[in-house]
Structure 1
Amino acid sequence: MAALSLLSLLLILLLPLCLLFLLSLIVRPRPVKIPINDRHVFVTGGSSGIGLAIAHRAASEGARVSILARSQAKLDEAKQAIQLATGVDVATFSADVRDFDALRRATEEAGPVDVLVVNHGVYLPGELATQELDEVRFMIDVNLIGSFNMIKAFLPAMKARTDRRPASVVLMSSQAGQVGIYGYTAYCASKFGLRGLAEALQQEIIADDIHVSLVLPPDTDTPGLAEENKRRPPLSSIIAATSTAMKADQVAEKTLNGIKSGSFIVPCNSVGYLIAFATAGLSPQRSYIMASVEVVCAGISRLAGLFILWSWYSSIEKWYAQRKK
């Protein structure tokens, strides 16, 4: 009986090791380290918020930094702020990501890029039933089509780079790119689209040693969020409060760490990790440890997700019940 108990204990101890060994054989793409120091990091939406924080952090880590946004005045302010803090000279490019020709000109002027951070984005709050289609098109055009434009413009030079160290394409999505949220219909559609873009793109450029990261921040304390809150439906704020808001510098730190480790999914807080486990699906995963957590926690994370959805739908039911009184 004691021998049987000892055998059972050994099997329990061996199972995790067997799982890790199996994952070490099948996890793809393979683990990679992507250097930032002395590389060219190009950031869209780089004049404020998360983009500015990423540019600032990349410069402080020894990168050559370029930033792109629509307003040249804001770009000049951002450039000066980064230079004062880090001593790094920053190149600026004024362009609308919806204008492919302007982006192609920026590509020619900027030269080869090692890390392309596609960070731009807009959110116009509203329920689809009352929102104008022009606003829907605007979000899709900027968030999704603008990302295609950026990658299409910059990718040829990245593929032809003479520096053959690993390179990176980073897409700034959102927790609203993992799960639908009340009042975010068009925004969610645009950010969900980035995941499909990222997963397929990774397969297309892995042979060029270019690695895709999909960053999934929650609400982030930026000037854009302040404007959103002025018109965001109350229910959207209630549901978004489920995940704690972050500072732009915190998201930038998570982003740079994700880039350097070649992580495909880059959650930014505890709720983000929970959602990432629940929605892992067929997304690439480089880390054997994270892959094992996904395998083991699949059922648990689904249960936790159902509790979150229960909370959200309960809030919606209560809200509309109160309005009917």
Structure 2
Amino acid sequence: MNFVNFLFVYIIVLIIWTFYKRYFSSSEFQVKNKHVLITGGSSGLGFSFAKLCVKNGANVTIVSRSQEKLDVAVKQLRGFSTKKDSQKIESFACDVTCVSEVEQLFCSLIVPVDIIVLCAGASKPGFFHQQSPVLFKDQVELNYLGSVYAATYCFQKMLRDGVCGAKFIFISSACGLLSFPGYSQYAATKFALRGFCDAFRGELLLFQYTSHIFFASSIDSPGFAEEQKLKPELTKKIEGTCVLQTSDQAAASLWTGISRGHYQITSDFAVELLRISNNSTNPRNNFLLELLLLPFACIMQHLSPAQGVAKCERRHKQFTGHMTLYSAKPSSLRLGLVIYSTSS
């Protein structure tokens, strides 16, 4: 059998296998009558996922720091209720960066938690030399430790309550798969969360619990609007003109990935290619398809930073090549190009 025939047979087998995986081996994510707790559930992706849970008959508790935002969100969620008399939709004001508040949250919950969605987080982009160590500490506490604290006390409560088939859903970011100038503070926390989830997943299997991690792309949300105010121009140029997803679209992608039993979940093709090339020893979503796409993933991984730098170089030729980091007031653009020109 020559290579062309082999490739043809491989693609036919791939199509059949993918069709089987999508329509026969996956089942709808079941949340009816289950208790779903969502941190960061008052807005953005957390709120959109809460809507899906409510529409599918779940009892939902949303958590956020602002009681005012929670009250508005709960009122809106009740409008999507399928069982207005019996379906419980509640809220709890809690700062997930405070261990004592997180512990109090799970001590106060009477009803067992079946599913927890760890969505609280924020990005404060900027260049390393222009930000204080305090901001890095705050980012670690919110984006990483906030999820760890909530997972810790929720896990303990699940075991005390004898919950069967519990599920942990962690919200990471595409910055948990790659990083570039402007995201040193944020990407570090998302890489840390990914490492935690990979280890935690194996431990959960001992209790017949499951977990998922969602590498979300850029979402059109209040958080993203605040992020844009802080983001350096170089970071925006490297990112390019990405198409923003709505929070509802991102929540639907997450829901689909959970239904298919995927551990690592993405919401667009570019991030999926990054996931394929950064899979480590984690279970693959579709081995045959990923084997075919892996060369393309490696090519994209190799070229994407160079494309971003080339775009900057074309627009700002005067800054390329021989810049120094020791000028009195280095501009954001200078620093970014020096980083990449010295590493190329």
Q: Which portions of structure 1, spanning 4 or more consecutive aligned residues, are displaced by more than 6 angstroms? A: 30-33
Q: 1:174 to 1:32 in 2, by over 3 A?
A: same
Q: Tell me whether 1:45 sits opposite 2:40 in the alignment.
A: yes
Q: Say whether the 8 Å CA contact 2:240–2:308 is kept in structure 1.
A: no
1:69 aligned partner: 64
TM-score, normalised by the number of residues in structure 1: 0.86
CA-CA distance at 1:196 after TM superposition: 0.5
Q: Say whether the 8 Å CA contact 1:41–1:113 is kept in structure 2.
A: yes
1:254 aligned partner: 253
TM-score, normalised by the number of residues in structure 2: 0.82
Q: Say whether the 8 Å CA contact 1:212–1:262 is kept in structure 2.
A: no
1:158 aligned partner: 158
SS at match of 2:290: helix
2:133 aligned partner: 133
Q: What are the Cα deviations for residues 34-91 of structure 1, in whole angstroms up to 9, with x where unaligned?
A: 5222211110000111111111111011111010000001000000010123244311
Q: 1:239 to 1:156 in 2, by over 3 A?
A: same
- Counterpart CA distance in 2 for 1:128 and 1:41 is 37
Residue 308 of structure 1 is aligned with which of 304, 307, 318? Answer: 304
- Counterpart CA distance in 2 for 1:89 and 1:139 is 32
- Counterpart CA distance in 1 for 2:231 and 2:51 is 30
SS at match of 2:283: coil
1:60 aligned partner: 55
Q: Say whether the 8 Å CA contact 1:251–1:268 is kept in structure 2.
A: yes
Figure out how many residues of one structure are paired with residues of the other and give that number: 310
Q: Say whether the 8 Å CA contact 1:211–1:262 is kept in structure 2.
A: no
CA-CA distance at 1:133 after TM superposition: 1.1
Q: What are the Cα deviations for residues 64-119 of structure 1, in whole angstroms up to 9, with x where unaligned?
A: 10100000010000000101232443111111111122112211222321111000
CA-CA distance at 1:182 after TM superposition: 2.1
Q: Say whether the 8 Å CA contact 1:36–1:260 is kept in structure 2.
A: no
Q: 1:262 to 1:125 in 2, by over 3 A?
A: same
Amino acid at match of 1:302: C
Q: Say whether the 8 Å CA contact 1:218–1:268 is kept in structure 2.
A: yes
Q: 1:120 to 1:276 in 2, by over 3 A?
A: same
Unaligned runs of 5+ in 1: 22-29
Q: What are the Cα deviations for residues 174-208 of structure 1, in whole angstroms up to 9, with x where unaligned?
A: 01111012201110000011110110000011121
- Counterpart CA distance in 2 for 1:241 and 1:141 is 29
The structure whose RCO (Cα within 8 Å, separation 6+) is larger is 1
- Counterpart CA distance in 2 for 1:15 and 1:270 is 19
Residue 297 of structure 1 is aligned with which of 289, 293, 298? Answer: 293
Q: 1:214 to 1:15 in 2, by over 3 A?
A: same
Amino acid at match of 2:263: F
**TM-align CA RMSD:** 2.9
2:98 aligned partner: 99
Q: Tell me whether 1:221 sits opposite 2:220 in the alignment.
A: yes
Q: 1:318 to 1:56 in 2, by over 3 A?
A: same
Q: What are the Cα deviations for residues 271-316 of structure 1, in whole angstroms up to 9, with x where unaligned?
A: 121211221222233x4xx122222322221012222122122234
- Counterpart CA distance in 1 for 2:41 and 2:242 is 25
SS at match of 1:138: helix
Unaligned runs of 5+ in 2: 18-24, 321-333, 335-344
1:13 aligned partner: 9
Q: 1:303 to 1:10 in 2, by over 3 A?
A: closer
* Higher mean displacement: 106-115 or 39-48: 106-115
- Counterpart CA distance in 1 for 2:10 and 2:238 is 42
- Counterpart CA distance in 1 for 2:301 and 2:95 is 37
2:117 aligned partner: 117
- Counterpart CA distance in 1 for 2:178 and 2:13 is 33
SS at match of 1:208: coil
CA-CA distance at 1:9 after TM superposition: 4.5
Amino acid at match of 1:118: L
